[in-house]
A and B are shown apart, each in its own frame.
Chain A
Amino acid sequence: MNGFANIAWREVRIAWTGGGLWLPIVFYLAVATLFPFVTGPDKVLLARVGGSILWIAALLASLLPIERLVLPDRQSGVLDQLVLRGWADEWIAAAKIAGHIVGFGIPLLLATPVAIALLGVPDAQAKTLIIGLALALPAFAGLGVTIAALTAGLNGASALGGLLLVPLAIPILIFGAGTLDDSANNALQLLAATSLAMTALSPFAAGAALRAARD
């Protein structure tokens, strides 16, 4: 499916041009930088909660690009032209999610070692944290595109998006944070399963939202 790659790559290009690349990453690293200032330079405390803080920072960073994921394409007629060419809304959503995983997820993963160093997350946790975030990012991207499709064009879309994301992201956060102090690796498997289910369902949810908004 050649066109799928074209659409997904267009998403990546839009994410990486016009400053879209830096905003979520700077936000993510800003949380990691600021957190030690508010707790004080307590190494033991930072080592204990640092990983959990990064999970929350990654989730909130994934909210930042929501407004540009769907609305500009709806307004400029790009979605209409894709539908006219016989693209199902679910495929359009899936391509957008794939593009969002690369456009947002990869820079976030690259920034994670820096954030880990800033918070002094212990080495034993660092690897689990990176694997966990990598497993969760497709779900974050799926949720992001779905919420963007649901809220595109509404007043206060980003505030509403935040409200919608919080309950939907709770399972990922619970299992994600659970991986940090689990030695048997069961939590990683649960996280992977949850993320897989969310990623697989989100094109259908986002596609339905795209279709409903067109009529």
Chain B
Amino acid sequence: MPDSQAASPNIALHRVAIIRGSRVILRDFDLEVESGELIWVRGANGSGKSTLFRALSGLLSVASGEVSISGAIALCDDNLALDLDQPLGKAIRFWTGLDGIDPARLEAALETLDLIGLADLPVRLLSAGQKRRGALARLLASDAPIWLLDEPYNGLDQANVARLDAALSRHTEKGGIALVASHIAPTVNVTRSLVIDRPKAELTA
């Protein structure tokens, strides 16, 4: 398994427009993200943060503009993508197995988010915050260099917010990219803050 972290990841969007139904969600949107950046994506509800993430993930096609992404993407959004009837550890292992990831890496991810004790519990019995941590553990365990996190702090207590932030900062120090869409600021070294204000998006330094 080649380590995709080795190549330096980057994202370049040029004059991108995204249309959903008859609404223009993003227009003339430019974005350049280099290796090692942690970007806080801000914007009102419905301003297009999730849509941007779905477009970056290749789940939505852009209406115009150029999208160039090098490096694999891991996405953690509202959808858990974990089988509710399975124990948490097994449910995440489905994905790490598919990605061919070393089980030790999954153990480390579970450890990071303090989930070891919950690994044998069926996902449906977990609280909202625990489920969210399970989905985050799937992202942490992946070896994708680009992380997209949509409202990752929802339902997390302070201790786990700190754990997640520490993981984010380790990831970017190793050259990874993280985009965090959230209403609260990450407590670690945010490289930039990106304000999405429909329909015109702008970047603030």
Q: Do A and B come from one complex?
A: yes
Would you give the 0/1 interface string for A52-83, flagging 1 where the beta carbon is closer than 8 Å to chain B?
00000000000000000000000111101101
Given contacts A80-B57, A83-B59, A84-B57, contact A75 B79 (CB under 8 A): yes
If over half of A's interface residues share one DSSP class (helix, strand or loop), that class is named, otherwise mixed; here it is: helix
Complex CA gap A10/B77 in Å reads 22
- Residues from chain B with Cβ under 8 Å of A17 in the complex: 85
Would you give the 0/1 interface string for B41-69, flagging 1 where the beta carbon is closer than 8 Å to chain A?
00000000000001001111100000000
CB distance from A103 to the nearest CB of B (A): 15
A167 within 8 A of B: no
In the complex, residue of chain A having the shortest beta-carbon distance to the beta carbon of B148: A84
In the complex, residue of chain B having the shortest beta-carbon distance to the beta carbon of A9: B94
Complex CA gap A77/B61 in Å reads 17
If over half of B's interface residues share one DSSP class (helix, strand or loop), that class is named, otherwise mixed; here it is: loop
Given contacts A75-B79, A77-B81, contact A6 B59 (CB under 8 A): no
Which residue of B75, B79, B95, B97 contacts A76 across the interface (Cβ within 8 Å)?
B79
B82 within 8 A of A: yes
Complex CA gap A215/B59 in Å reads 7
- Residues from chain B with Cβ under 8 Å of A83 in the complex: 57-59
B161 within 8 A of A: no
Which residue of A7, A78, A80 contacts B59 across the interface (Cβ within 8 Å)?
A80
Tell me the count of chain B residues lying within 8 A, CB to CB, of chain A: 24
B73 within 8 A of A: yes
- Residues from chain A with Cβ under 8 Å of B34 in the complex: none
B83 within 8 A of A: yes
Which residue of B57, B58, B61, B97 contacts A6 across the interface (Cβ within 8 Å)?
B97
In the complex, residue of chain B having the shortest beta-carbon distance to the beta carbon of A84: B57
Complex CA gap A99/B85 in Å reads 18
- Residues from chain A with Cβ under 8 Å of B77 in the complex: 77, 80
In the complex, residue of chain A having the shortest beta-carbon distance to the beta carbon of B142: A85
Complex CA gap A214/B55 in Å reads 11
Interface residues of A (CB under 8 A from B): 2-3, 6-7, 10, 14, 17-18, 75-78, 80-81, 83-85, 214-215
14 A-B pairs whose Cβ atoms sit less than 8 Å apart in the complex: A6-B97, A6-B98, A14-B83, A75-B79, A76-B79, A76-B84, A77-B80, A80-B54, A80-B57, A83-B57, A84-B74, A214-B59, A214-B60, A215-B60
Interface residues of B (CB under 8 A from A): 54, 57-61, 73-75, 77-85, 94-95, 97-100
3 nearest A-B residue pairs (beta carbon): A77-B79, A77-B81, A81-B81
